[in-house]
């Protein structure tokens, strides 16, 4: 019921358009009833060879209702679909905002296939609620009231037959379909989501599958999912076909019962032959309004289930905060910051406390799993943490997400480049940047030289994930993007991971040379060339074991000294 109420609440945004669509739908069915009734009267009356002028009104009526039916049907479909597309656009916007504002790394719990199923499949499914559930139900109710009132004035037997048809066709049979489909919906949705996840993984990891010769096993798994999904869908289609045939039988049976009642009334002299024809055509043509109700449970079940999954995502949106105050400075202070992931025995961060005055360069070093990246995620509010992270004397969680993104820029080890041109990828940081600002950012990142070798220069398309570029080139574009944004705080999360020593040194030099007016947090396992850092913080198992300048730590000959010696020996 909660999902149904949510769907109804969405319709308020297009209530006028939806209302107009329902109104035209009623007029369309009314025109069909008028067409059949007028045509029936015209044909039966013409059999008695009356003067032509007596038929002129009916002839004009047939023309009018025929044209009106077509025009009204077109207008109803056009307006109803327009309203539906407006509502789907609104839902997509809400869904995207929910993903964008999802707090504490909750997005990581969803695989890409599951998100794709919700973004495309579930939202598309909701169109059937507006087109095949809400509107037909209201239209059928309105037509039933008007036709039922008309039938009531003629015969109680006819009214009983009409109401029985509505109850069985619009209530009992749809309930049976609904009950059956409730059992089938969950396995179908699970299989569909699993298939999309598998196909997404196949596309993203095609190179790895080829390298390890996993193509055969991947195809077998995909074929198995496809077969299982096909069997479930085949079962649903078979039963749906049977139920659809049963619905046709009910309508035809109702027509026969109506005809028998009319014959009885005709024999008793309660109605004339012409009236019997008109009444029969009115009743049978009005049943057009309940025909869509036979498949209503099918669309209801899918729509409500999809709404439930979408609402689950929307419910995880972070509360939007308004800063209400200006940031006076960008000094950072960590106070007893602790992070523990779900089901993890040990804390990823355990009571970290240190200060980073604005403009300082601080390196966070340690072995894999020491908590370096978790520290950056805590600063970006991507994971929940205990303790306090202060920015300018205020808890960073008190700022709005939009404001946080303004003063923090990140260059990660796995930079994502969109399938667009080099210029479009860099301008993501600041779309309104001038050509001069763009050139300065490229110069600062050391990217100008390799771009000049491309035939299309800045208009070169880098491909999905930037696959047409080398690792070093991708990182330089990521640095250029960060330089163009020019945020007061720059996080460099393993920016040289996967690069050779020469390229790594060049990228690191480019990253640090033009950051005089920025706070830099360098997360790295590369312990050489850290003499330019104002402070080095060494983490082990989520705790700070050492901190100081490179010279101080080397003199102390503690954990940092031992790690650097091991690294030098490996080189």
Better pLDDT: 481 or 247:
481
* Architecture of the domain whose range is 332-415+479-570: 3-Layer(aba) Sandwich (3.40)
The two three-digit tokens of residue 166, written as one number:
């509505």
Q: Which DSSP symbol is given to 466?
A: G
Distance CA 275, CA 260 (A): 14
Residues 6+ apart with CB under 8 A from 182: 301
What is the per-residue burial (b if ≥16 Cβ within 10 Å, else e) of 438-462?
Answer: bebbbebbbbbeebeeeeeebebbb
Nearest to 126 by CA among 290, 300, 9, 5: 300
Report residue 111's pLDDT band, with 50, 70 and 90 as the boundaries: low
DSSP 397-420: GGS-HHHHHHHEEEE-TT----SS
397-439 pLDDT, tens digit per residue, is 777 766 777 788 888 777 778 878 888 888 888 888 888 888 8
Residue 498, pLDDT > 60, answer: no
366-378 pLDDT, tens digit per residue, is 877 777 888 888 8
Distance CA 286, CA 274 (A): 18
The residue-averaged pLDDT of 97-126 equals: 63
27-71 pLDDT, tens digit per residue, is 999 999 999 999 999 999 988 888 888 888 889 999 999 999 999
Q: What's the confidence (pLDDT) of residue 34?
A: 92
Report residue 354's pLDDT band, with 50, 70 and 90 as the boundaries: confident
The residue-averaged pLDDT of 185-201 equals: 69
- With vertex at residue 292, the alpha carbon angle to CA 287 and CA 297, rounded to the nearest 5 degrees, is 130
282-333 pLDDT, tens digit per residue, is 888 887 777 777 667 667 777 777 777 777 767 665 555 555 556 667 888 8
- Other beta carbons within 10 angstroms of residue 422's beta carbon come to 25
Distance CA 32, CA 434 (A): 62
Q: In terms of DSSP bridges, do strands 386-391 and 332-339 run parallel, antiparallel, or are they unpaired? A: antiparallel
**163, burial (CB in 10 Å: exposed 0-12, middle 13-18, buried 19+):** middle
**Boundaries of every domain in the chain:** 2-314, 332-415+479-570
The residue-averaged pLDDT of 177-202 equals: 68
Q: By three-state DSSP, how is residue 113 classified?
A: helix
Do the domains at 2-314 and 332-415+479-570 have one common CATH topology? no
Residue 571, pLDDT > 60, answer: no
Residue 113, pLDDT > 60, answer: no
Main-chain phi, psi angles of 387, to 5 degrees: 95, -150
Choose the most confident range, by mean pLDDT, from 96-110, 179-193, 406-420, 421-435: 421-435
**CATH superfamily of the domain spanning 2-314:** ABC transporter type 1, transmembrane domain (1.20.1560.10)
Distance CA 354, CA 359 (A): 15
Choose the most confident range, by mean pLDDT, from 23-27, 162-166, 380-384: 23-27
Q: What is the Cα 569 distance to its own chain's centre? A: 50
512-524 pLDDT, tens digit per residue, is 665 567 888 888 8
Better pLDDT: 448 or 156:
156
The two counts, helices (H) then strands (E), for the chain are 22, 10
- With vertex at residue 94, the alpha carbon angle to CA 89 and CA 95, rounded to the nearest 5 degrees, is 95
The residue-averaged pLDDT of 114-130 equals: 70
Distance CA 185, CA 193 (A): 12
The residue-averaged pLDDT of 460-472 equals: 77
Q: What's the confidence (pLDDT) of residue 205?
A: 62
The residue-averaged pLDDT of 235-257 equals: 78
Choose the most confident range, by mean pLDDT, from 24-28, 287-291, 477-481, 504-508: 24-28
Distance CA 161, CA 165 (A): 6
Better pLDDT: 545 or 567:
545
Residues 6+ apart with CB under 8 A from 258: 158, 161, 162, 280, 283, 284
**352, burial (CB in 10 Å: exposed 0-12, middle 13-18, buried 19+):** buried
**Average pLDDT of every residue of the chain:** 78
Nearest to 242 by CA among 293, 294, 285: 294
The percentage of residues in the chain with a pLDDT greater than 70, rounded to a whole number, is 79
Distance CA 352, CA 363 (A): 15
Lowest mean pLDDT among 199-213, 289-303, 541-555: 199-213
CB 161 within 8 A of CB 254: yes
Look-up of token digits 């609440």? 9
Q: What's the confidence (pLDDT) of residue 132?
A: 79
């Amino acid at each position: 019921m909660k999902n149904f109420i949510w769907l109804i609440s969405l319709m308020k945004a297009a209530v006028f358009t939806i209302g107009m669509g329902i109104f035209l739908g009623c007029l369309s069915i009314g025109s069909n009833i008028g067409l059949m009734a007028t045509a029936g009267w015209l044909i039966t009356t013409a059999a008695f060879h009356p003067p032509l002028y007596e038929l002129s009104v009916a002839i004009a009526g047939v023309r009018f209702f025929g044209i009106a039916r077509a025009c009204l049907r077109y207008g109803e479909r056009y307006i109803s679909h327009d309203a539906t597309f407006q509502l789907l656009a609104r839902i997509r916007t809400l869904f995207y905002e929910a993903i964008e504002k999802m707090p504490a790394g909750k997005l990581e719990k969803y695989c890409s296939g599951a998100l794709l199923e919700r973004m495309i499949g579930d939202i598309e499914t909701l169109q059937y609620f507006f087109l095949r559930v809400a509107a037909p139900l209201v239209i059928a109710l309105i037509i039933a009231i008007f036709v039922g009132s008309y039938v009531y004035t003629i015969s109680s037997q006819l009214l009983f037959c009409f109401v029985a048809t509505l109850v069985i066709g619009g209530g009992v049979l749809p309930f049976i379909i609904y009950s059956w489909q409730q059992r089938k919906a969950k396995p179908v949705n699970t299989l569909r989501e699993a298939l999309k996840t598998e196909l997404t993984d196949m596309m993203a990891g095609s190179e790895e599958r080829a390298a390890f010769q996993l193509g055969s096993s991947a195809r077998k798994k995909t074929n198995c999912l496809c077969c299982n999904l096909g069997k479930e869908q085949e079962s649903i289609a078979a039963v749906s076909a049977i139920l659809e045939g049963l619905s046709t039988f009910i309508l035809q049976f109702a027509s026969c019962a109506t005809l028998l009642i009319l014959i009885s009334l005709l024999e008793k002299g309660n109605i004339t032959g012409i009236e019997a024809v008109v009444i029969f055509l009115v009743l049978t043509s009005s049943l057009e309004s309940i025909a869509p109700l036979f498949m209503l449970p099918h669309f209801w079940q899918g729509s409500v289930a999809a709404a439930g999954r979408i609402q689950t995502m929307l419910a995880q949106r972070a509360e939007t905060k308004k800063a209400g105050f200006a940031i006076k400075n960008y000094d950072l202070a960590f106070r007893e910051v602790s992070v523990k992931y779900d089901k993890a025995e040990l804390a990823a961060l355990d009571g970290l406390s240190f200060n980073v005055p604005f403009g300082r360069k601080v390196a966070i070093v340690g072995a894999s799993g020491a908590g370096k990246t978790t520290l950056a995620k805590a600063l970006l509010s991507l994971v929940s943490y205990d303790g306090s992270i202060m920015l300018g004397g205020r808890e960073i969680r008190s700022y709005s997400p939009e404001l946080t993104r303004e003063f923090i820029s990140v260059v990660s080890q796995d930079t994502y480049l969109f399938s667009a041109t080099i210029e479009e990828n860099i301008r993501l940081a600041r779309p309104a940047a001038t050509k001069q600002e763009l050139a300065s950012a490229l110069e600062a990142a050391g990217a100008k030289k390799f771009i000049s070798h491309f035939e299309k220069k800045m208009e070169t398309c880098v491909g999905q994930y930037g696959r047409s570029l080398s690792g070093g080139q991708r990182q330089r574009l990521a640095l250029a993007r960060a330089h163009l944004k020019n945020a007061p705080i720059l996080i460099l999360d393993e920016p040289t991971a996967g690069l050779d020593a020469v390229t790594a040194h060049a990228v690191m030099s480019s990253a640090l040379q033009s950051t005089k007016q920025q706070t830099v947090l360098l997360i790295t396992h590369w312990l050489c060339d850290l003499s330019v850092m104002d402070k080095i913080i060494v983490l082990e198992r989520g705790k700070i074991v050492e901190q100081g300048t490179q010279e101080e730590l080397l003199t102390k000959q503690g954990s940092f000294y031992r790690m650097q010696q091991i690294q030098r020996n490996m080189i």
